[in-house]
Structure 1
Amino acid sequence: MFGVRKRAMTRLVSAAVFGVGLMVSAPAAMAQDVLVMAAASTKNAVEKLAVQFKAKTGATVTSSFAASSALAKQIENGAPADLFISADLDWMDYLQKKDLIKVDSRVNLLGNDLVAIGPKGSTLKPKLTQGGDLAALAGDGRIATGDPSNVPVGKYAKAALEKLGQWEAVEPKLARADSVRAALALVSRGEAPLGIVYATDAAVDPGVTVVGIFPQDSYPAIVYPAALVATSKNSQAAAFLDYVKSPDGMAVWKEFGFAPAPKLP
């Protein structure tokens, strides 16, 4: 009798492990969150998209936000991730060259603009033109933006300032933040009189004022590509990527100030 019970228990355990027989709920119990690594500037939009996606599918999206450079390096070093959303093409290209993304899933998702900001109520009006006065307006203060050596917003800022003939004057006054949101915070807290961030970041922080808009021809087109990570085996990850680029998803991006990705040559 003991042997019969033991064999029956063995069959139940096997059913539980392999998800067969009456244990049909086992796969659901083993379902994994969709792990998203996304550029810091996408935080508000991605969090809303995640809530909507869960309401539609029941799948949970867990997100990590930082500079695209930091996230790409984390993926390279084996950090678990299903989806990567970068604030520039360079860091997506970096992972693609290392075979760390699923190339057939890659898509240019969003566009953005580059703006100069000051603390709320700032009356500074920098001339974002050839030979302008951004550095002079900062006085003894700093101009906050991402580190131009690796953070996308800093790279765009450097390109714009070089094109406008202002880089040499601005460079010594830069506060080189590790992400666009860190640069935004420096200005919002009044620790820097000026900053250079994306238009979407300025829009979500009531502690800053846009004091100037960089000419679009002064910097490379801002493109946010997205792609599934090569090691991902999560079936819901592709569904979430499909959702963020769907009409419903694009409506959320638009709500937070993003534009569709610009067409590239």
Structure 2
Amino acid sequence: MPRLPVALAAALLLPLSAAAAEVVVFAAASMKTALDPIAEAFQQATGDTVTISYAGSNALAQQILQGAPADIFISASTQWMDEVERAGDVAEGTRTDLLGNRLVLVAHDEAAPQLTPARGFDLVGALDGGKLAMALVDAVPAGQYGKEALTTLGVWDQVEPHVAQADNVRAALTLVATGEAPMGIVYATDAAAEPNVHVTGTFPKDSHAPITYPAALLENASDEADRAFFDALGAPEADAVFQQQGFTLLN
């Protein structure tokens, strides 16, 4: 887990309330390595509790739409935040584009050759009979971005039969880290968080829609702790943690 700058605790330091509050956060699975230390520092500084549920953005959005009691939602794509906002579950004026990311090809084998994802590149040949791990390609943002990139580069039809789909991007990452799949498509931040995978190529930015992480307070948010933690996500000290993990700052 990355070390959080000491300044963050000071920046978030608030008088401890007589009754500690709980902040419930629904966050895309790819946020975990960066968000956990930010939440820990906030808890230590305020005495409040931050409970984070990590999963694919699609699954989290569906839970919110079905009435799950979340205070903050951080999605890995605008699509699923749009769904939640259209349903009236986003607190007015709170939605913000928080972070960006890059899409990369990773391999389990340190000796795996470097690939340049480009028009017609031989990804099937690089798999050498193995599977390509991806998050659900029709629902989870990382899978959707990956399918779009492979389609743009003209190789999706050839690669599709070799794809092993996982519930979220961290599950796809695990398939590669454990060697169950020789290669996978994940975010650059996921690759940075897992020592047992190696980046073998980075997808061109123009091969897929921009990877954007919108964040918002939800209508269920009802106390000062919810707003305080939401504000902390945009603090300079939190920015440093996100950048350390490879995210791009958008706000």
Shorter-chain TM-score above 0.5? yes
Structure in which a larger fraction of residues adopt helix: 1
Structure 1 pair 57–29 and aligned structure 2 pair: CA distance change class (3 A): closer
Alpha-carbon offset, residue 120 of structure 1: 4.3
How many pairs are equivalent? 236
Q: TM-score, normalised by structure 1?
A: 0.86
Greater Rg, structure 1 or structure 2?
1
What 5-or-longer segments of structure 1 have no aligned partner? Answer: 1-26
Q: Under a length normalisation based on structure 2, what TM-score does the superposition of the two structures give?
A: 0.90
- Residue 219 of structure 1 and its aligned partner are, at CA, apart by 0.9
Per-residue deviation at 1:124? 2.8
Corresponding position: 1:65 with 2:54: yes
Task: Look up the match of 1:82.
Answer: 71
Deviation, 1:57, is: 2.1
- Offset of residue 261 of structure 1: 2.4
Deviation per residue, 1:37-77 (Å, 9 max, x gap): 10000001111101111233222211110000011111111
Are the aligned partners of 2:17 and 2:47 in contact in 1 as well (CA < 8 Å)?
A: no
Alignment RMSD, CA only?
Answer: 1.5
Match of 1:224 among 207, 213, 216: 213
Deviation at 1:127, TM superposition (A): 3.5
| 1:205 equivalent in structure 2 | 194
**SS of aligned partner of 1:105:** coil
Match of 2:5 in 1: none
Q: How does 1:1-265 map onto structure 2 within 5 Å? A: 28=17, 30-261=19-250
Aligned mates of 2:76, 2:103 — CA distance in 1? 12
Identity rate of aligned residues, in percent?
45
1:168, distance to aligned residue in structure 2 (A): 0.6
Deviations 1:78-121 (A, max 9, x none): 11111000000000001001001113110000000000000041
Which structure has more relative contact order (CA 8 Å, sep 6+)? It is 2
Runs of 4+ in 1 over 3 A off after TM superposition: 27-31
Q: Tell me the residue number matched to 1:16.
A: none
**Distance in 1 between residues matched to 2:55 and 2:161, nearest whole Å:** 25
Q: Which runs of 5+ in 2 are unaligned?
A: 1-15
**Counterpart Cα distance in 1 of 2:83 and 2:128:** 38
Equivalent position amino acid for 1:50 in 2: A
Letter in structure 2 aligned against 1:181: R
